[in-house]
Chains A and B, each alone.
Chain A
Amino acid sequence: MNNILGIILTGGNSNNLGELSINRSSAAMPIGGKYRAIDFVLSNMVNSGVVSVGVITQYNFRSLMDHLGSGKEWDLDRRTKGLFIFPPFISPESNSWYRGSADALYNNLSFLRRSDEEYAIIAQGGNCIYKMDYTDMFDFHMQKDADITIVYREMTDFEPDDLKRLGIIQKDSDERLTDFQEKPLHPLSNNASIGIYIMKKSLLISLLEECVAHGDYDFVKDILIKKINSLKVYGYKFNGYWRSMCSVQLYYRTNMELLNPEIREELFKTGGKIFTKVKDETPAKYNYEAEVTNSIVGDGCIIEGIVQNSILFRGVTVNKGAVVKNSIIMQGSIIEDNAILVNTILDKNVQVTQGKSLKGEDNWPIIVGRKAIV
């Protein structure tokens, strides 16, 4: 796999995440008590043996750059290769933000050209939660002698409405793609692309040049769909857990699903570790009154209250008499005495004062923006 260049496109519009994405790109969404969404795809790349990864950013990338740093935690602080971060820039040829995924890649052609890897693996969207070894996909790509291999998954665990937000594929018996519908009103199957592509780097470069020369900017719409007949595009089936945290509901649901031991086992215990930025917090402390059940608790928490079916990120304080149920509490928030939170998402460093009560609906959690005092 050290012959494959990794590219993560984190751009994307995250309006559906509402207040949660005001200050961060969707790739930087906190998940599972200590992680950011991008940790999963980046760790997948590292665990698959990819040693050169470019992260192309646009939307609110400051928190993402802060998180990734030099790539130390992913073992990507290398003398040669390693982690590269590409925010948009101005040059004689380009003076705007990235206009689409193909445009973003095109603007960084020099990175593609300069690297000596023969193949490229592109991960579109840094907000997907899954564990995958890309080595098997690469073997499949070689074995099929494909031009492009994409990864698809049977979305049997998705609501029909959610399928309308994905790219739906049709394939023949040899797994070769015959059709690709991007965000269709009437999905023809429940096989959806999860936005991972492998191809030769030289092919990628020529496709990008052609695309941009025609004034097009989108990798899926203007390259993948247009070339589906003229190129050998194959689908590699992924059977594991996969979620894209592209809306508040999916964000909430994905976090809650991590309470399921089988999903945690798959994500964290098999096929390599998930790496993330180190915070040097001390282990969580439970006082005598603590009653914590079915919950994930990060380092640095101090708990004296009742916590059920919830995710507590690092450094959260839950005081005496407070009750936290079915909630996501991000880093550094404080829940004071006797406060009650049900179906609530607290962003970072929120303070819920004594005795306050916040209750959301089962599928429609209340969101409290960062540093708010309730």
Chain B
Amino acid sequence: MKKHEVIGLLLAGGQGSRLGVLTKEIAKPAVLYGGKYRIIDFSLSNCINSGIHTVGVLTQYQPLKLNNHIGIGKPWDMDRLNGGLTILAPYLKNEKGEWYKGTANAVYQNIQYVDKIDPEYVVILSGDHIYKMNYSKMLAFHKEKKADATISVIEVPIEEASRYGIMNATEEGSIYEFEEKPEKPKSNLASMGVYIFSWKVLREYLIRDNAYQDSNNDFGKNIIPRMLNDGLSMWAYRFEGYWRDVGTIQAYWESNMDLIKRIPNFNLFDPGWRVYTPNPVQPAHYVGTNGSIKTSIVAEGCMVYGKVSNSVIFPGVYIGENAVVEDSIIMSNSVVKKGSYIKKTILDEKVVVGENAKIGIGQEVPNEYRPAIYNSGITVVGEYANIPAYAVIGKNVMIDMQVTEADFVTLEVESGKSIFKGGVEG
């Protein structure tokens, strides 16, 4: 058996709680993105395009859709005889079983998996980010610097730097300090959550970290600072290009909108770096005689009889006659019936919007139930929700998954309100 020089470990267990109802029943890496993808497709495609075809995907939170999506890794060409894709879920050991307590603990609990493959290096990735990156270049850098750990960094605007883990490094990239979300950032080099470690070194640090009772078992909070403390050879690898942590409703919406401009900020039309995903098996989409689509991306299986502009439309969506969709994200198999108007709204999968309903109009008031989540003027409708005909729904509104017409006490839902399944929060 040919030895694997490098493997990928993809942390896909995060909930992404700031995505609100979009991640209520799925993990953040499984959230749909860009008209046909799920967020995790970008990291997985980066792996295969970088020549890494052995990847462990660590799952924990609501993994059903994620597992279903990834399967045995066929779309990424990772259904291999030797290596390939393995889903690593927490499991019972001896008498006790435990959940992954943190990112480092998740890898710690899978030391056996890595040991069996025995690679020279591991790339630790998160399944939460949108970017195209060639990890093999980063690995070459890691080897050239004879590093113990290499952390991929990207320049962020200094005023936003306090939201990230900031690396303070020399001109050549040698890291001398790491600050997690610093109040007064000393540099604007933010960690992208992509690490390359020499496995022997990481293995030892994971075992030690696990022994500390007070540790958060987290790469950013514990492993990296401890390695720095011990004076290991740690390097920052500068990445230039599009990278987004689509962790909030606004960031998620903006990143989708980055795909639709004439010269998009993020270009998916790149035959040299394809992004792979399971095939939805739908016919090519159809635009009706009175239909119109402008500044948008539209996937297969859609039927567009109405008007769409500045939007991202996923496979199998139906947009009826005289319906208008603007500045919105409409996910797979949703139905927008005739005469309805949808503005700056995210419809999750299989939502039905009744005839002549209006969504996303009125005052901009933050959501009363979760002001920290729904505050950017975007209304979010959970999957399988049914919006009654003639409903008028404001901005920053949250419509829970699976709500039916019976859950609407009134057809007028003001900005900042929420509609819950059965009228009950939760």
Interface residues of A, Cβ cutoff 8 Å to B: 32-35, 73, 259, 261, 264, 267-268, 273-275, 278, 280, 282-300, 302, 304, 311-314
A299 contacts which of B259, B276, B299 (Cβ < 8 Å)? Answer: B299
A261: chain B residues at CB < 8 Å are 286, 303
Is the CB–CB distance between A297 and B284 below 8 Å?
A: yes
A278: chain B residues at CB < 8 Å are 279
Q: Does B357 sit at the interface, judged by CB under 8 A?
A: no
A286: chain B residues at CB < 8 Å are 293-298
Q: Does B143 sit at the interface, judged by CB under 8 A?
A: no
B269, B312, B314: which has the most chain A beta carbons within 10 Å?
B269
Is the CB–CB distance between A293 and B290 below 8 Å?
A: yes
Given A274-B281, A282-B35, A289-B294, 5 more A-B residue pairs with CB atoms under 8 Å apart are A261-B286, A261-B303, A280-B276, A287-B262, A299-B299
Given the interface pairs A290-B294, A297-B298, A299-B300, the reply to whether A282 lies near B284 with Cβ below 8 Å is: no
Q: Does B358 sit at the interface, judged by CB under 8 A?
A: no
Interface residues of B, Cβ cutoff 8 Å to A: 34-36, 75, 259-260, 262, 264, 268-269, 274-277, 279, 281-300, 303, 312-314
B268, B289, B291, B293: which has the most chain A beta carbons within 10 Å?
B293
Minimum CB–CB distance from B288 to chain A (whole Å) comes to 7
A33: chain B residues at CB < 8 Å are 283-284
A-B contact pairs, 14 of them (CB 8 A): A268-B283, A273-B282, A280-B75, A282-B268, A282-B297, A283-B35, A283-B36, A283-B297, A287-B262, A287-B294, A293-B289, A294-B287, A300-B269, A304-B262
Is the CB–CB distance between B284 and A34 below 8 Å?
A: yes
A280: chain B residues at CB < 8 Å are 75, 274-277
Is the CB–CB distance between A293 and B287 below 8 Å?
A: yes
Is the CB–CB distance between B281 and A275 below 8 Å?
A: yes
Minimum CB–CB distance from B281 to chain A (whole Å) comes to 5
A284 contacts which of B276, B289, B298 (Cβ < 8 Å)? Answer: B298
B304 and chain A: residue at smallest CB distance? A292
B292: chain A residues at CB < 8 Å are 291-293
Is the CB–CB distance between A282 and B290 below 8 Å?
A: no
B279, B284, B291, B297: which has the most chain A beta carbons within 10 Å?
B284
B298: chain A residues at CB < 8 Å are 283-284, 286, 297
Chain B interface main SS type: loop
Is the CB–CB distance between A293 and B295 below 8 Å?
A: no
B36: chain A residues at CB < 8 Å are 282-283, 299
Is the CB–CB distance between B283 and A294 below 8 Å?
A: no
A264: chain B residues at CB < 8 Å are 283, 286
Bound complex: CA A261 to CA B36 (Å): 23
A289: chain B residues at CB < 8 Å are 294
B276 and chain A: residue at smallest CB distance? A280
Is the CB–CB distance between A296 and B290 below 8 Å?
A: no
Minimum CB–CB distance from A266 to chain B (whole Å) comes to 12
A73, A294, A298, A299: which has the most chain B beta carbons within 10 Å?
A299
A314 and chain B: residue at smallest CB distance? B284
Is the CB–CB distance between A296 and B295 below 8 Å?
A: no
Given the interface pairs A282-B268, A283-B299, the reply to whether A288 lies near B285 with Cβ below 8 Å is: no
B36, B286, B297: which has the most chain A beta carbons within 10 Å?
B286
B291: chain A residues at CB < 8 Å are 292-293
Is the CB–CB distance between B260 and A285 below 8 Å?
A: yes
Bound complex: CA A34 to CA B284 (Å): 6
Is the CB–CB distance between A287 and B295 below 8 Å?
A: yes
Bound complex: CA A35 to CA B283 (Å): 8
A273 contacts which of B281, B299, B312 (Cβ < 8 Å)? Answer: B281
B294 and chain A: residue at smallest CB distance? A288
A292 contacts which of B274, B277, B287, B314 (Cβ < 8 Å)? Answer: B287
Minimum CB–CB distance from A102 to chain B (whole Å) comes to 35
Minimum CB–CB distance from A263 to chain B (whole Å) comes to 11
Is the CB–CB distance between A34 and B269 below 8 Å?
A: no
Bound complex: CA A282 to CA B256 (Å): 13
B295 and chain A: residue at smallest CB distance? A288
Is the CB–CB distance between B285 and A284 below 8 Å?
A: yes
Is the CB–CB distance between B260 and A297 below 8 Å?
A: no
Bound complex: CA A32 to CA B301 (Å): 12
A273, A287, A304: which has the most chain B beta carbons within 10 Å?
A287
A294 contacts which of B274, B288, B294, B297 (Cβ < 8 Å)? Answer: B288
B34: chain A residues at CB < 8 Å are 282-283
Minimum CB–CB distance from A292 to chain B (whole Å) comes to 5
A73: chain B residues at CB < 8 Å are 279
B291 and chain A: residue at smallest CB distance? A293
Is the CB–CB distance between A282 and B300 below 8 Å?
A: no
Minimum CB–CB distance from A200 to chain B (whole Å) comes to 34
Bound complex: CA A139 to CA B270 (Å): 50
Bound complex: CA A298 to CA B294 (Å): 16
A312: chain B residues at CB < 8 Å are 284
Given the interface pairs A34-B283, A264-B283, the reply to whether A285 lies near B297 with Cβ below 8 Å is: yes
Is the CB–CB distance between B293 and A292 below 8 Å?
A: yes
Is the CB–CB distance between A297 and B285 below 8 Å?
A: yes
Bound complex: CA A149 to CA B293 (Å): 48
Minimum CB–CB distance from B411 to chain A (whole Å) comes to 30
Bound complex: CA A280 to CA B295 (Å): 22
Given the interface pairs A282-B275, A284-B285, A295-B286, the reply to whether A290 lies near B293 with Cβ below 8 Å is: yes
A300: chain B residues at CB < 8 Å are 269
Is the CB–CB distance between B262 and A288 below 8 Å?
A: yes
Is the CB–CB distance between B286 and A259 below 8 Å?
A: yes
A72 and chain B: residue at smallest CB distance? B74
Bound complex: CA A297 to CA B296 (Å): 13
Bound complex: CA A26 to CA B188 (Å): 60
Given the interface pairs A283-B297, A285-B269, the reply to whether A298 lies near B287 with Cβ below 8 Å is: no
Is the CB–CB distance between B300 and A283 below 8 Å?
A: yes
B310 and chain A: residue at smallest CB distance? A288
B268: chain A residues at CB < 8 Å are 282
